[in-house]
Amino acid sequence: MSERGNYEAIRKSILELLDQPEYDDGSVGPVLVRLAWHSAGTYDAETDTGGSNGAGMRYEAEGGDPANAGLQHARVFLEPVKAAHPWVTYSDLWTLAGCVAIEAMGGPKINWLPGRTDFVDDSKLPPRGRLPDGAKGVDHVRNVFTRMGFNDQEIVALSGAHNLGRCHTDRSGFEGKWVHSPTRFSNQYFRLLTRLEWKPKKLNNGVLQFVHVDEDLDEGLMMLPTDMALLSDPGFKEWVLLYADDKAAFYADFANAFAKLMELGIQRDAQGKVVNSDNLKGGYHS
Ligand code: HIF
């Protein structure tokens, strides 16, 4: 029997590649989560453009957006999975990999559905500049995520993903990780955001971030200006405080918000079948 449509096989292949002792903190999980989110986070609800359909990051226009620096590593890690299961679309593979990584790192189960296409619909291509800029503040964060269709509560729930992974000077200009265990999903990001004292620090490259030096561990943790923005706005802060205290609420809300992120721009019928992928006009295939 053909393996086509067996997403359990894809999940298994993804799980097998997550642990990479030589890479960052020992797992490619975090960068796969960032790939999944950046593939979807170009969405604009008003014009119904952008989103994960089309896997546009394969091409220079989107892949070369400075906001996507470093994600070529994530795509390369996933190439063996694509080679072993050529029937899976890149857009399904990248979004599923992020969800599998979240679950494998101890996060909630994300309700992921297949059916995305790799046909590129020229009329749906997002311009550069749709992804958020970590150097900015409250209005920027709210504008970018409202454009995708998220409310304040969902924005804060999503933000808990910065529990995972780290910043790299050669990718974003920022440096360091948000929590001490960056390959373990938890609500520690919110706990540290609310309980530690954060001080602005200008890095040698001129980039401004916020730092907390943990004397016991002699290791600094960091926050982006956009992370700090969640504390300075009452509409965001109430959710930060809730998620710092209530891990179960965070897991439940995060799972819903991340599943919604993965679905941006994907239209399904009542059976869950994608209705806007098979008959795209004027698209081209990779
Ligand atoms: Fe991130 N994010 N993100 N992010 N992000 C980085 C890294 C990760 C923003 C900026 C950055 C989300 C929202 C925002 C992850 C997941 C999510 C980096 C560092 C920056 C600068 C990149 C590097 O240098 O390698 C901004 C401004 C956001 C809007 C507020 C999402 C909610 C938190 C949507 C989300 O899921 C993950 C995971 C990483 C770690 C990647 C790694 O390589 O370890």
Note the pLDDT tens digit of each residue in 17-32. 999 999 999 999 999 9
Instruction: Domain count for the chain, please give it.
Output: 2
Return all residues near 31 (Cβ < 8 A) that are at least 6 apart.
Answer: 24, 70, 71, 73, 74, 77, 165
pLDDT tier at 216, thresholds 50, 70, 90:
low
Q: Does some domain include residue 172?
A: yes
Quick one: pLDDT at residue 63? Answer: 96
Residues with CB under 6 Å of ligand 1 are 30-31, 33-34, 37, 70, 132-134, 141, 158-159, 161-162, 164-168, 171-172, 174, 224, 226
Asked whether residue 144 falls in the same domain as residue 243, the answer is yes
Whether 239 maps to a domain, the answer reads yes
| 115-150: pLDDT as tens digits | 999 998 888 889 999 999 999 999 999 999 999 999
Q: What is the CATH number of the domain that holds 156?
A: 1.10.420.10
The answer on 232 and 118 residing in a single domain is no
Ligand 1 centre and the CA of 5: distance in Å? Answer: 30
pLDDT surpasses 60 at 285: no
CATH of the domain at 72: 1.10.520.10
Average pLDDT of the residues in 81-102: 98
The residue-averaged pLDDT of 194-203 equals 95
- Residues 53, 142: Cα–Cα separation, whole Å: 24
Compute, in degrees rounded to 10, the torsion defined by CA atoms 65, 66, 68, 69: 130
Structural domain of 204: 138-253
Same domain, 18 and 118: yes
173 with 127, same domain: the answer is: no
Of 38, 73, 162, 212, catalytic: 38
Indicate if 212 belongs to the active site. Answer: no
Catalytic residue among 37, 94, 112, 178, which? 178
Question: Residue 213 — pLDDT band, cuts 50, 70, 90?
Answer: confident
Residues 126 and 142 in one domain: no
Same domain, 126 and 149: no
Q: How many angstroms separate the CA atoms of 17 and 196, rounded? A: 34
State which of 20, 28, 31, 37 you would mutate to test the pocket of ligand 1, scoring each by most atoms of that ligand within 8 A of its C-beta. 37
pLDDT attached to residue 282: 45
Closest residue by Cα to atom 9, ligand 1, is 134
For the segment 254-263, the average pLDDT, to the nearest whole number, is 98
For residue 239, indicate whether it is catalytic: no
Are residues 124 and 195 located together in one domain of the fold?
A: no
Q: pLDDT digits over 31-81, tens only?
A: 999 999 999 999 999 999 999 999 999 999 999 999 999 999 999 999 999
Q: Are 97 and 246 in contact (CB under 8 A)?
A: no
Measured from the CA of 182, which atom of ligand 1 is nearest? 44
Residues 176, 117, single domain; the answer is no
